[in-house]
Amino acid sequence: MPQWLDYINRAFQVFYDSGMGGGAEEAIETFASRWGGLDLETFSHVLEVGEGQDKLIALFALGSSGQPGARARTLPFLHSQVRMERWASALCLGEVKEEQALPVLQEMLQEGLFGQGVQDVSMEDNAMWYELHRRRVASLLGGWGTPSLVPVLHQALQASWEREQQVRDPLHSWSWSLAHYHNFQDSLSFAMGKLGAFGALFGVEMPPTHLNMALIYLVLGYFHNSKKHGYHNLIGQLMTDKALRQDIVQVLEQRFGLSSTGGVGVIERYFDDYIARKDEER
């Protein structure tokens, strides 16, 4: 796929693959028909005169294009009063490790996590979008390579567990979002592992089942950087990849003082905890 088509598709998928409307392909056709094209000039024009979702799509398209001038067009939106514009700018700039985006990205880990302080959009209407991209923020910060970011990731992990407890009641209007908080916690643990923060889980007040899963993701995050591992079907990989299991056990022995048997137990409990968590999310 040509590069320009790639960033255009990604700009639309940011919305339409996260539950905000129909499919991305149909949205691309509608946008092109309404604005007369899908080139950089069109997106620049929409960013100036457009409103709502069209403006946000233009912001994502320009911000992720890598073209000269994209940074200058995206930076002002870091200070936008419109929350989605601020997030869009920070996410795009975070991909290229723009230092000015770093404070905003750190705020995004908990901004609106408890449903507070949101005035420009309906939190109920766009909650899924924010929760999906909160995970992306964790990934971006984990890839920043800056150990000083560990405390803010640690704080977000604790806050996410506190929020999870609030929505566990089936009568709670946000009970549908339980899976998002679980996935966010996994992403935070993985991010801290990418930063080599083996002690990051100490002091986190979460139940043993959560901490055990967090420990696995922490180690996997470390492997992502040190061994360049990727994980697309973690359960399947842990069941079939003996080398991966041995690597995990070795790190648990060396970094956490567990015996070989104890390390195997952490992996085995992960399977039980994963199944129990999925049952909760249904």
Check if the beta carbon of residue 66 is closer than 8 Å to that of residue 98. no
CA atoms within 13 A on the CB side of 264: 5
The radius of gyration computed from the CA coordinates of the chain, to the nearest angstrom, equals 20
Per-residue confidence at 232, pLDDT binned at 50, 70, 90?
confident
> Scanning the structure block, which residue is given the tokens 């591992």?
229
- Range scoring the smallest mean pLDDT among 13-27, 143-157, 199-213: 13-27
The pLDDT tens digits of the residues spanning 61-97 come to 999 888 888 899 999 999 999 999 999 999 999 999 9
Tell me the pLDDT tens digit for each residue of 150-200: 999 999 999 999 999 888 876 666 666 788 899 999 999 999 999 999 999
pLDDT, average across residues 243-258: 96
Given a cut of 60, is residue 120 above it in pLDDT? no
Q: How far apart are CA 240 and CA 234, in angstroms?
A: 10
Helix H, strand E, coil C: the string for the chain is CCHHHHHHHHHHHHHHCCCCCCCHHHHHHHHHHHHCCCCHHHHHHHHHHCCHHHHHHHHHHHHCCCCCCHHHHHHHHHHCCCHHHHHHHHHHHHHCCCHHHHHHHHHHCCCCCCCCCCCCCCHHHHHHHHHHHHHHHHHHHHCCCCHHHHHHHHHHHHHHHHHHHHHCCCCCCCHHHHHHHHHHHHHHHHHHHHCCCCCCCCCCCCCHHHHHHHHHHHHHHHHHHHCCCCCCCHHHHHHHCHHHHHHHHHHHHHHHCCCHHHHHHHHHHHHHHHHHHHHHHC
Cα 71 from Cα 160, distance rounded (Å): 31
What does pTM read for this prediction? 0.90
Find all residues with CB under 8 Å of 270, minimum gap 6, and list them. 212, 213, 216, 238
pLDDT at 15 over 90: no
